[in-house]
Amino acid sequence: MKVARLYSFNDIRIEESQVPEPGPGDALVRTRACGICSGDVMPWYIEKKAPLVLGHEPSGEIIAAGSEVRSFKKGDRVFTHHHAPCFSCKYCRRGDHVQCATWRSSRIIPGGVSEYILVPAVNLENDTFVLPESLSFEDGTLIEPTACAVKGLRRAKIIQGDTVLIIGLGVMGMINILLAREYGAGRIIGADMVNYRLDKALEFGADNVIDVAAGDLREELLRITEGDMAELVIVGPNSAESMRMGLSCVRPGGQTLFFTPAKPGEKLILDPNYLYFNDINIITSYSCGPDDTREACKLIGKGVVSAGKLVTHRFPIEETGEAFRLTAKAENSLKSLIIF
């Protein structure tokens, strides 16, 4: 079978690999589509894992199930999550699934951009499900990214009518716009420096957009909101500078959601006196768990998020390097998929 393996940021090779053999509790999936994640194009993040088979947003069809598998059968169209929790440790009991040791160590084999995927028993039982008939395989690839936004907005609750500022309008920023509206946001403001993305944000329901290449974000926000700023600021770009900027845009009583990490070791200088007297909270949100993937599936079923809206480019596996470069460039594209 063909796989796309990353050796370094600029070295992605299509290689032949052995089709994995499922054990009694595992399943073998024939991959039908897999998303390229914007998180995978942070060089420091992906290169520390290299060499690896790319992709953690696959959907596909079960073509073989082990003798002990009862919940799935051959022919099932499925979403499978690359990590799954144990449901019994102290983290899982509090719903902190992504902190679970099993979640951290579990993985689909060899990865999503592979013609076949072995889904180990724990992933199969604890975060794999059959796609509703109304969802295409392409929609299925959006379950994991949508679930990351679901988790973030679960942690940073939107109160009906809140003004939400979303910094960074790649595919995750767009999903945050669509979900913020669904969860009751009043005014939604998007910020980016790429015209294509600013236009798309308006198309997806943002009330205003701010071109950060043309002027100061905070000043423009103050102008648009007549001094009010935003109750929730979602920071997409992975830098301490963006986080600092995000914090400066929060209205007293509000919160900032750090949706991505900064580079390891990067420092953010805070003014605790200002944060304290203005009751400003900082919320983080890393990845997603089984509650979030199910909620994401429902939202996609309702049409809030769909491949029709977000997928802008499709590539065969042979062109994975091109899909990766396009995602890294972060310009006139949203979601790129590898189609099998």
> Going by C-beta distance under 8 Å and a sequence separation of 6 or more, which residues neighbour residue 327?
36, 37, 38, 40, 41, 333, 336
Distance CA 232, CA 258 (A): 11
Nearest residue (CB) to Zn ion, 151 versus 187: 151
Distance CA 294, CA 297 (A): 5
Asked if 113 interacts with Zn ion (CB under 5 A), we say no
Annotate 167-185 with b (16+ C-beta within 10 A) or e (fewer): bbbbbbbbbbbbbbbbbeb
Nearest residue (CB) to Zn ion, 93 versus 155: 93
Distance CA 162, CA 232 (A): 7
The token pair that represents 310 in the structure block: 């977000």
Give the single-character DSSP code of 159: P
Question: What residue number has its CB nearest to Zn ion?
Answer: 100
Asked if 100 interacts with Zn ion (CB under 5 A), we say yes
Q: Compute the chain's Rg from CA coordinates.
A: 20
> How far is residue 120 from each of residues 8, 65, 110, 198, measured CA to CA in Å?
27, 10, 11, 41
Nearest residue (CB) to Zn ion, 64 versus 86: 86
Number of residues that bind Zn ion (CB under 5 A): 6
Nearest residue (CB) to Zn ion, 190 versus 290: 290
Asked if 130 interacts with Zn ion (CB under 5 A), we say no
Asked if 42 interacts with Zn ion (CB under 5 A), we say no
Q: By CB under 5 A, name the one of 58, 60, 85, 170 that touches Zn ion.
A: 85
Nearest residue (CB) to Zn ion, 63 versus 86: 86
Q: By CB under 5 A, name the one of 36, 92, 142, 156 that touches Zn ion.
A: 92
Distance CA 277, CA 181 (A): 29
Distance CA 7, CA 27 (A): 27
Q: How far is the CB of 57 from Zn ion (least distance, A)?
A: 5
Distance CA 177, CA 149 (A): 10
Q: By CB under 5 A, name the one of 63, 89, 275, 328 that touches Zn ion.
A: 89
* Piece of 96-104, 249-257, 267-275, 301-309 that binds Zn ion (CB under 5 A): 96-104
Asked if 304 interacts with Zn ion (CB under 5 A), we say no
Q: How far is the CB of 144 from Zn ion (least distance, A)?
A: 5
Asked if 64 interacts with Zn ion (CB under 5 A), we say no
Q: How far is the CB of 86 from Zn ion (least distance, A)?
A: 4
Nearest residue (CB) to Zn ion, 101 versus 202: 101
Q: How far is the CB of 114 from Zn ion (least distance, A)?
A: 16
Q: By CB under 5 A, name the one of 86, 222, 328, 339 that touches Zn ion.
A: 86
Distance CA 20, CA 27 (A): 10
Q: How far is the CB of 186 from Zn ion (least distance, A)?
A: 29
List interacting residues with Zn ion (CB under 5 A): 37, 85-86, 89, 92, 100
